[in-house]
A and B are shown apart, each in its own frame.
Chain A
């Protein structure tokens, strides 16, 4: 006789999952989610009710130019900072003690002080030496808040980027250098073709964070009369005393930062797909 399991044990529907218990975590979580939902609805409702075509006509375009100012400020300083960061990073890696100490001091000084104070020191501080700078013919450069902001941001981000680069280069195992050496590959070619590609993958995430930090940090140029997104917001608020101006700025900054973060996540996933196992 043949026994088939189906004859002995008829199909049974699995028991329903036990009802989810109400505990403290669930209660707190639901209350907090309710709070965020109400805050979100309140935000949309506030922006909707405060909407006025007249203000949009007058300040909408200002926000757009402010946004462009912010993005170009950050773009230019990141690129210039990347160039300046190269010698500093090599200085940090150098075996020469003096060069090492000099580049360490540079990095420490620019990372240890607020960006705001650096901008103030360059823009307002250098005004003290106006006569001397005029004699040198470079006062025209320092007279403009935009130039001073670019200079301060570049020097600042160069220090951070140098540290990112140094950490990334040091994270490449020594065997990579030695392997290339034993194959008789010149040092510079080893660096460019073997070390750097591996280091840049490691540096990808910190670089993304640095760009986001710069976008957020760039808001302080509004305090030295550069009309970036924050500067236009402050100007619009001081004229209208309408709080929606700040809310809109928050929305714009938030959207930029989140978009960049997601693009960077995608980029990292794409560029490291050969490392997935």
Chain B
């Protein structure tokens, strides 16, 4: 069979399998993003709190998840949660076999890693905003939460955007790891095709190109968003 037949959609080709892998990869990355951003933002808030214990707790979080290899974090979450849930079920005296969803495990593990990096990005963005912005808001009698939402947050997003864009690229690449816990993403699907057809170079080349295309598309979208966020900048 020629390469085109192998990559075609349908019964004989692997095109549809690989396409479903692309969908899984993209949806995993997109599902992790809001989770990671939210936790990262909260951790950044904790890190610049005046309360010692809150700062330390947040620092411990970042140190742990930036110090472990992403693949190991993934295995720890996947196997660890499986064992934890099974033991809880056994403790409750139930007899259910439980298989932890690898998509959820991937989302949690990648979210932990993403959020610990994102918290550093948010933190340095927080530090880039002058204290006078808060004080000005308070002087006008605006409530603390409203100051945060209407004055600080819009500036914060603009400053943090380049760093977050970098993290998105990292996240996209890290999704390749979930193939190791059996999620049918790009790498897994092309790997199966490579083993079945013995055309390893073709299929791994395809997955290589697919990730490159995803990176290129991301660059374009990010450039658009950055241009949009800079529209209000004083010149």
Contact = CB atoms under 8 A, between A and B. Distances in A.
B54 A32 contact: yes
A36 B57 contact: yes
Nearest to B75: A246
Interface stretch (A23-31, A48-56, A84-92, A165-173): A23-31
Interface in A231-256: 233-234, 237, 243, 246-247, 249-250, 253-254
Contact of A117 (B49, B187, B216): B187
A220 B56 contact: no
Given A113-B173, A126-B201, A257-B67, A26 B72 contact: no
Interface residues of B, number: 50
Contacts of B57: 29, 32-33, 35-36
Contacts of B212: 109, 112-113
Contacts of B63: 258
B68 A125 contact: no
Contacts of A247: 76
A26 B204 contact: no
Contacts of B58: 32
Residue with the highest number of chain A CB atoms closer than 10 Å, among B60, B175, B200, B204: B204
Contacts of A126: 201
B200 A125 contact: yes
Nearest to A20: B51
B215 A28 contact: no
B79 interface: yes
Interface in B124-163: none
Contacts of A79: none
A208 interface: no
B53 A125 contact: no
Contact of A246 (B67, B80, B174, B201): B80
Contacts of B90: none
B83 A243 contact: yes
A23 B53 CA distance: 12
A33 B55 CA distance: 10
A249 B80 CA distance: 14
Interface string A209-233: 0000001111110110000001001
Nearest to A215: B69
Contacts of B55: 29
A103 interface: no
A221 B55 CA distance: 36
Interface residue range, chain A:
35 or more
B17 interface: no
A225 B176 CA distance: 17
Contacts of B177: 114, 116, 220
A37 B175 CA distance: 31
B204 A125 contact: yes
A129 B198 CA distance: 11
Contact of A26 (B53, B71, B83, B201): B53
A124 B49 contact: no
B69 A216 contact: yes
A113 B174 CA distance: 10
Interface in A67-112: 108-109, 111-112
Contact of B60 (A36, A218, A250): A36
A128 interface: yes
Contact of A253 (B69, B202, B204, B205): B69
B80 A113 contact: no
Interface in A3-33: 23, 25-26, 28-30, 32-33
Interface of B: 46, 49-58, 60, 63-64, 66-72, 75-76, 79-80, 83, 169, 173-177, 179-180, 187, 191, 194, 198-202, 204-205, 207-208, 211-212, 215-216
Across the A-B interface, give the 10 residue pairs with the lowest CB-CB distance, nearest first: A29-B54, A29-B53, A112-B215, A32-B57, A114-B176, A219-B69, A128-B201, A125-B201, A216-B69, A114-B173
